Amino acid sequence: MATKHTAKQQTVLVGVTGGIGAYKACELVRTLMRRGFRVKVVMTEAATRFVTPLTFRTLTREPVATSLWADEPGDPVHHISLAQEADVVVVAPCTANVLAKIAHGRADDLLTTTVLATEAPVVLAPAMNVHMWRKDITQHNVEALRARGFVVVAPASGELACGDVGEGRLAAVEDIADAVEAEARRVHGLAGVRVLVTAGPTYEPIDAVRFIGNRSSGKTGYAIAEEAARRGAEVTLISGPTALPDPFEVRVVRVTTAAEMRDAALTAWPDTDVVIASAAVSDVRPARAYVGKLKKDALPEAIELERNPDVLAELGALNDGSRVVVGFAAETGDPVAEARRKLAAKRCDLVVANDVSGELGFGTDANRVIFVTATAAEELPVMGKRAIARELLDRVARIRSERLGT
Ligand code: CTP
């Protein structure tokens, strides 16, 4: 597993694009270096019209990359090495154009190619004219980026280079550096921690082709598994049937039924520090599964059901307090009260309650959730599943370090 070690000095890749705020990137570079980071700079062609590569080279004492076609000696795939070397990437200033390109996954220069190739967290600090910033297409791009887990440090208000007054100025350098530092801290926040995630639905067979299941897409659990791996955790993902590809650097155990999920979870339990049960496990299964496909004339009038094991409750019961256990609760009533009930019944440290009465929830990319513990209920704004995964793992890391007294 490609984990980087905490002791090593962390590298921040600063991407500079062609806006008047480019000169402030010099101050950002100095601030990040003062805070202990190794800093490398990538510039777009347009950025070099505002500040010269030599300026950044002098500040960082590192080569400054500006083109896909001018490699560092001995490095034929520069965008990949830069992408891998970075613990955090920050683009400041980020023009409307580069923001749009990143939002759409375009990669037509060294900077956007590196942003697409990196697995490191990416902080964007947009700066542009107020009307460009307020355009719904720009706002849409910002929302899409945030939903995908990019950190966007919103621009500040004031007098702009073009003479207009409004929001669009590059955020304060200290604020951008704070956002970078917060991401850098997260990067190794789960180094070596063994995380078990359950995800997706379970299918309970009626016969060879029919089953009882539900509409869970598995997206939340996969996002959690991927994000945990990115933070250095050793992740086992026990997944019911989904259409999703295996996340990188994650051990995936594919199962079909609740009974199989339980067996896989109990097998993994002894080597687990954190459990996150996001699976929408079917509560019941047909009491008997027919061999082969039943002809329609042979279909029974009623299907007798029996209860499935509760995977989370079984793991919670095994917990001697050394593990962190997180459950989910899909609610249409009073989410906090119900989540608290499940928290106690299944011996969880935290329950993620989500309101599935509206259009958000199963199969959607965004969700509104409440993090419920024995003492607090923290309601988060509507956000993408990746962003929810990040928030959740921040809380998990905090609970774990409180528990370990670190
Ligand atoms: N869970 C589980 N095994 C089950 C049922 C649920 O592991 N057989 C876990 C889910 O992964 C989730 C939590 O328990 O973390 C959900 O609990 P549940 O009591 O099923 O809540 P809801 O799905 O919200 O359903 P209900 O309110 O109807 O009880």
Burial 191-229 (b: 16+ CB within 10 A, else e): eebbbbbbbbbbbbbbbeebbbbeebbbbbbbbbbbbbb
Q: What is the pLDDT of residues 72-100, one digit of tens each?
A: 555 666 778 888 899 999 999 999 999 99
Please indicate whether residue 326, judged by its CB atom, sits closer than 6 Å to ligand 1: no
Q: What is the pLDDT of residues 268-305, one digit of tens each?
A: 999 999 999 999 999 999 999 999 999 999 999 999 99
Cα(329) to centroid of ligand 1, in Å?
6
Q: Is the pTM of this model over 0.85?
A: no
Question: The domain at 194-404 falls in which architecture?
Answer: 3-Layer(aba) Sandwich (3.40)
- Is it the case that residue 4 has pLDDT exceeding 60? no
Question: 275, 307, 311, 370: which to mutate for ligand 1, most atoms within 8 A of CB?
Answer: 311
Looking at 3.40.50.970, 2.60.40.10, 3.40.50.1950, 2.30.31.10, the CATH number of the domain 11-187 comes to 3.40.50.1950
Query: In one letter, which amino acid is 136?
Result: D
Please determine whether the domains at 11-187 and 194-404 fall in the same fold group of CATH: yes
**Residues contacting residue 142 through CB under 8 Å, at least 6 positions apart:** 99, 103, 126, 152
**Active site annotation includes 162:** yes
What is the atom index within ligand 1 of the atom nearest the CA of 265?
Answer: 7
State both tokens at 246: 């295996």
Distance CA 261, CA 196 (A): 12
pLDDT at 6: 42
Cα(87) to centroid of ligand 1, in Å?
36
Burial 24-57 (b: 16+ CB within 10 A, else e): bbbebbebbeeeebbbbbbbbebbbebbebebbe
The answer, yes or no, to whether the previous bond of 241 is cis (omega within 30 of 0) is: no
Please indicate whether residue 279, judged by its CB atom, sits closer than 6 Å to ligand 1: yes
Domains of the chain, by residue range, sit at 11-187, 194-404
Please indicate whether residue 59, judged by its CB atom, sits closer than 6 Å to ligand 1: no
Please indicate whether residue 328, judged by its CB atom, sits closer than 6 Å to ligand 1: yes
Question: 220, 342, 351: which to mutate for ligand 1, most atoms within 8 A of CB?
Answer: 342
**Residues contacting residue 302 through CB under 8 Å, at least 6 positions apart:** none
By mean pLDDT, which of 4-13, 185-194, 210-219, 336-345 is the weakest?
A: 4-13
| Chain-centre distance for alpha carbon 177 | 20
Average pLDDT of the chain?
Answer: 92
For residue 177, give the nearest of 111, 51, 90, 56 by alpha carbon. 90
pLDDT at 159: 85
Please indicate whether residue 21, judged by its CB atom, sits closer than 6 Å to ligand 1: no
φ and ψ at 392, to 5 degrees? -60, -45
Please indicate whether residue 274, judged by its CB atom, sits closer than 6 Å to ligand 1: no
Distance CA 59, CA 62 (A): 8
